[in-house]
């Protein structure tokens, strides 16, 4: 005669289902994780997003239509990481693009007296672009008609004369469309 597996006087299958439900119920909801992540980015308390965080934020933008406008304060596009009116003093920046009319992104030196070259890597869920900017020569990339809403990551690398990396000070802008 075959005996059923029993744990704490209950069938094992019941214990397994109850455990799985408890694990699921105790997880932090995705929108709560998105909100905490966005707040940490805005305050400058978070390093560059890892692949899982990037994908979670992009997925939430696609799944919740009002999330993008809420994070960008109802703009067509906006920086969601720490910045000062478009000026970024970190090695990365994140922005959300809400509308395909915003297609050309420009990264330039924030202050005209700066010297050197900043390597720029722009990444969305669909593509990656690499370039550089120098004083008087901004880096411009055309995101085209990529899907929206889209999370855009900008990583910046600037080497000093001694070979050590410095934190660049750049300005991130959308290039106005020409009629």
* Cα-trace Rg, the chain: 22
Rounded Cα gap, residues 142 and 104, in angstroms: 4
Q: Does residue 19 sit within a domain?
A: no
80-124 pLDDT, tens digit per residue, is 888 888 888 888 899 888 776 677 888 988 776 667 788 899 998
- Between residues 177 and 82, which one has the greater pLDDT? 82
**What is the band of 25 on the pLDDT scale with cuts at 50, 70, 90?**
low
This prediction's pTM = 0.76
For strand 118-123 and strand 150-159, is the pairing parallel, antiparallel, or unpaired? antiparallel
Q: Does residue 22 sit within a domain?
A: no
What is the SS3 assignment for 40?
Answer: helix
Total domains present in the chain: 1
Q: Does residue 99 sit within a domain?
A: yes
Q: Does residue 11 sit within a domain?
A: no
Residue with tokens 């050590």: 164
Residue with tokens 């008087």: 136
Q: Does residue 58 sit within a domain?
A: yes
Closest Cα to residue 117, out of 165, 153, 175?
165
Q: H or E stretch including 129?
A: strand 128-133
Rounded Cα gap, residues 3 and 47, in angstroms: 54
Could you tell me the residue range of the domain that residue 145 belongs to?
30-174
Rounded Cα gap, residues 137 and 169, in angstroms: 15
Rounded Cα gap, residues 165 and 92, in angstroms: 13
Q: Does residue 24 sit within a domain?
A: no
Quote the pLDDT of residue 81: 87
Q: Does residue 152 sit within a domain?
A: yes
Q: Does residue 7 sit within a domain?
A: no
């Amino acid at each position: 005669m075959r005996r059923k597996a029993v744990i704490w006087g209950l069938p094992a299958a019941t214990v397994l289902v109850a455990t799985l439900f408890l694990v699921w119920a105790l997880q932090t909801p995705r929108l709560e994780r998105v909100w905490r992540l966005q707040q940490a980015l805005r305050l400058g308390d978070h390093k560059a997003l890892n692949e899982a965080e990037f994908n979670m934020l992009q997925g939430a933008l696609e799944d919740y239509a009002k999330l993008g406008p809420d994070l960008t304060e109802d703009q067509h596009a906006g920086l969601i990481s720490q910045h000062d009116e478009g000026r970024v003093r970190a090695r990365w920046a994140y922005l959300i693009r809400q509308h395909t009319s915003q297609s050309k992104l420009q990264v330039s030196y924030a202050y005209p007296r700066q010297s050197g070259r900043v390597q720029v890597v722009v990444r969305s869920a669909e593509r990656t672009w690499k370039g550089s900017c120098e004083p008087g020569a901004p880096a411009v990339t055309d995101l085209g008609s990529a899907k929206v809403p889209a999370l855009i990551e900008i990583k910046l690398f600037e080497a000093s004369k001694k070979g050590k990396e410095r934190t660049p000070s750049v300005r991130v802008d959308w290039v106005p469309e020409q009629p």
